[in-house]
């Protein structure tokens, strides 16, 4: 693969990561706002969105890392 192909993958990774983070935040707010659950049950259910946020952040970091490596490889 050429360098410009890797730059496309880095951008795609960041865009998908932002999408995952946004969807995770939206799902968490929907669970908290529309829920009739209280206390510990609400806490457990709302924490189910943390893996989505984590994957989104990992994708963003991977895209930024790939971009930094490509910029410094010359």
Instruction: Print pLDDT tens along the chain (74 aa).
Output: 677 788 899 999 999 999 999 999 898 888 878 777 777 777 777 788 889 999 999 999 999 999 999 988 86
Quote the pLDDT of residue 74: 67
3-state SS, the chain, equals: CCHHHHHHHHHHHHHHHHHHHHHHHHHHHHHHHCCCCCCHHHHHHHHHHHHHHHHHHHHHHHHHHHHHHHHHCC
Quote the pLDDT of residue 33: 80
Quote the pLDDT of residue 38: 76
Distance between first and last Cα of the chain: 16
């Amino acid at each position: 693969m050429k360098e410009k192909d890797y730059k496309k993958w880095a951008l795609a990774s960041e865009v998908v990561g932002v999408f995952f983070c946004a969807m995770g935040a939206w799902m968490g707010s929907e669970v908290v706002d529309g829920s009739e659950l209280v206390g510990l049950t609400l806490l457990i259910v709302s924490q189910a969105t943390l893996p989505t946020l984590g994957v989104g952040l990992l994708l963003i970091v991977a895209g930024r890392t790939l971009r930094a490596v490509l910029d410094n490889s010359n």
